């Protein structure tokens, strides 16, 4: 019956589309083209439904067509049908109904497992631990189901309950838990604290929901503790609501300042956002930490504070998302999130880095080259550019993670070691005091060796390609001795690599262990111990003259002001 109804609707759409097709005046070319192509699309669906050799699923077929059409525009314009509204709600409100845990895939057992329960959420409250293998939900075996399918089963309406069976490492019999789904609110501010030199630190993870309220409380609490400067950490913050970025910027900028201007096709899409309230603090020195995953609303906050010379931006160039999305209701309970405008920060620049309108012949898109960007100026007259995210005032060179670390993480060896470590250690010191000892690392190396761990070495691949090219061009015979010597030096040596890259590997192990006891807050504390971006921020905040100089226009040298005749 439902299928017949869908077919009837499709036929009706064809009829309606046809009436539009003949109803437009020949001079109204754009409307004609829209109606024409709608008619063609409806006819194709009808013909497929009636004559295709196999029975098609109309929902799946049309959904595929919709998604392909929208993706040809930009990756942010999306369709959410009625049964997929929870994903949109999580995106907008930073909440969902579930147990509050990240799950990951156990490649050996081919099952999902708990990777990280969130503090104070149902998973952690009932006693689920990282490493627990998910076996059954309400008696249904989860074997053969991927992470996405398991995640959908764990989520549901707030207040509903289910029985979860898990196999915990170190225990013989499976464990069962009765869990009640709750509204899962991901932390806006997973960690804030006063660091040395009376420097405040606030880690802001998202602009979805209402983070400005918690940010204000955190800042005022730090002020009571006696901070004299502040670091705002926006690294890996993918954005959220534009209004929230404006609200937080208003804490440090005077009332009446223009922060964002949006420009779109319609009047509703074009707006100007100004600071509407009295600020909390106009004088406290600020540093903002950013990286390549700092995007959207995060770039508005970082860019606005930079454009008004209110903060020193530290880190690496941001993602470059200068597009604004809004939601539009659709028939049958669906919703479309679509890009309606571009936003421009106070200097007048747009940070959008990718030009989706002008695609290459193969459909790919690329970043706008620096040579095509335009110079703008901050309030003090400092040069800034558009078209490529927010470029930091202080760029920090990041260390590249070793190749071996990727494979250790991908093979769950660090995760598995942390699980075994927790079975042997009921408690550990506070995050600021915890460290991986030489004995701990020796145990880890022994576990890796026992696991017969294998990984690709890029040098070996490149050397192999070089040999093939040398042979092709006739150089291999004369250079054979050199190649043999190089192969000997680059031979695979797991023991050597584990020792050579021990610092990075130990850091990853420590993070994985600490979050088992102190959750996300603990892992942040661990990562801040040797944080290059934070060190640079502290350096500039503890040097008042340098801080002031950095936010001012460099003085013009006598010869620079003269023009050649």
Host H or E run for residue 335 = strand 335-344
Q: How far is CA 456 from CA 50, 405, 451, 492, in A?
A: 51, 11, 16, 9
Host H or E run for residue 398 = none
> Tokens representing 346?
């106070």
Contact 296, 239 (CB under 8 A): yes
* Residue 321 among the catalytic residues: yes
> Which is catalytic among the residues 296, 341, 347, 523?
296
> Which is catalytic among the residues 307, 309, 386, 533?
307
Tokens 């060796």 found at:
449
Q: Which of 149, 150, 234 is nearest to 188 (CA)?
A: 234
Q: Rounded to whole angstroms, how far apart are CA atoms 308 and 274?
A: 13
Sheet strands (E) in 411-494 = none
> Which is catalytic among the residues 145, 257, 321, 515?
321
Q: Rounded to whole angstroms, how far apart are CA atoms 16 and 38?
A: 10
Q: Rounded to whole angstroms, how far apart are CA atoms 515 and 525?
A: 10
> Tokens representing 418?
């942390």
**SS3 helix, strand, coil % of the chain, rounded to 5?**
45, 20, 40
Q: Rounded to whole angstroms, how far apart are CA atoms 547 and 554?
A: 13
Q: Rounded to whole angstroms, how far apart are CA atoms 151 and 113?
A: 11
Q: Rounded to whole angstroms, how far apart are CA atoms 417 and 150?
A: 24
Q: Rounded to whole angstroms, how far apart are CA atoms 348 and 344?
A: 5
Q: Rounded to whole angstroms, how far apart are CA atoms 19 and 386?
A: 46
**CA torsion angle 41 47 48 53 (round to 10):** -160
* Residue 296 among the catalytic residues: yes
Q: Which of 221, 216, 215, 220 is nearest to 203 (CA)?
A: 215
**CA torsion angle 209 210 215 217 (round to 10):** -140
Q: Rounded to whole angstroms, how far apart are CA atoms 504 and 237?
A: 23
Q: Rounded to whole angstroms, how far apart are CA atoms 495 and 275?
A: 58
Residues serving a catalytic function are: 296, 307, 321
């Amino acid at each position: 019956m439902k299928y017949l109804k869908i077919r009837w609707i499709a036929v009706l759409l064809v009829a309606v589309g046809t009436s539009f097709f003949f109803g437009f005046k020949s001079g109204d070319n754009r409307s004609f083209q829209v109606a024409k192509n709608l008619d063609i699309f409806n006819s194709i669906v009808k013909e497929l439904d009636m004559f295709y050799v196999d029975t098609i699923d109309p929902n799946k077929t049309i959904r595929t067509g919709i998604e392909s059409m929208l993706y040809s525009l930009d990756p942010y314009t999306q369709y959410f049908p009625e049964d997929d509204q929870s994903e949109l709600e999580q995106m907008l409100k930073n909440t969902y109904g579930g147990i509050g845990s990240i799950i990951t895939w156990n490649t050996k057992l081919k099952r999902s497992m708990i990777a990280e329960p969130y503090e104070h959420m149902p998973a952690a409250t009932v006693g689920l631990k990282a490493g627990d293998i998910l076996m059954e939900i309400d008696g249904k075996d989860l074997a053969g189901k991927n992470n996405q399918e398991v995640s959908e089963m764990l989520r549901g309406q707030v207040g509903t309950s289910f029985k979860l069976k898990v196999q915990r490492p170190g225990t013989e019999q499976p464990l069962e838990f009765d869990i009640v789904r709750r509204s899962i609110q991901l932390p806006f501010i997973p960690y804030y604290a006063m660091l040395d030199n009376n420097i405040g630190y606030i880690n802001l993870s998202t602009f979805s929901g209402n983070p400005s309220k918690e940010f204000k409380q955190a800042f005022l609490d730090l002020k009571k503790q006696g901070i004299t400067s502040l670091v705002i950490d926006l690294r890996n913050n993918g954005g959220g609501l534009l209004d929230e970025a404006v609200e937080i910027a208003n804490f440090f900028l005077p009332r009446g300042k223009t922060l964002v201007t949006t420009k779109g096709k319609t009047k509703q899409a074009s707006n100007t956002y100004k600071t509407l309230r009295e600020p909390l603090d106009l004088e406290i020195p600020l540093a903002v930490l950013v990286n390549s995953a700092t995007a959207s609303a995060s770039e508005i906050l970082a860019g606005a504070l930079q454009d008004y010379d209110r903060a020193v931006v530290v880190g690496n160039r941001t993602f470059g998302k200068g597009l604004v999305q809004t939601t539009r209701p659709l028939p049958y309970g669906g919703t479309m999130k679509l890009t309606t405008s571009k936003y421009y920060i106070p200097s007048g620049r747009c940070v959008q880095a990718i030009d989706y309108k002008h695609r290459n012949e193969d459909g790919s898109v690329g970043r706008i080259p620096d040579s095509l960007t335009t110079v703008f100026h901050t309030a003090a007259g400092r040069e800034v550019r558009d078209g490529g995210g927010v470029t930091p005032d202080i760029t920090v060179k990041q260390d590249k993670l070793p190749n071996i670390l990727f494979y250790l993480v991908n093979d769950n060896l660090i995760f598995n070691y942390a699980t075994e470590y927790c079975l042997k250690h009921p408690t550990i010191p506070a995050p600021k005091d915890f460290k991986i000892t030489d004995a701990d690392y020796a145990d880890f190396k022994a576990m890796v060796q026992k696991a017969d761990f294998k990984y690709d070495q890029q040098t070996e691949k490149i050397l192999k390609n070089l040999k093939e090219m040398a042979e092709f061009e006739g150089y291999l015979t004369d250079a054979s001795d050199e190649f043999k010597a190089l192969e000997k030096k680059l031979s695979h040596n797991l023991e050597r690599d584990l020792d050579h890259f021990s610092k990075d590997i130990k850091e990853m192990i420590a993070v994985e262990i600490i979050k088992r006891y102190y959750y996300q807050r603990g892992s942040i504390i661990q990562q801040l111990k040797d944080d290059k971006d934070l060190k640079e921020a502290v350096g500039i905040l503890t040097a008042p003259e340098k801080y002031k100089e950095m936010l001012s226009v460099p003085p013009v040298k006598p010869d620079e002001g003269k023009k050649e005749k």
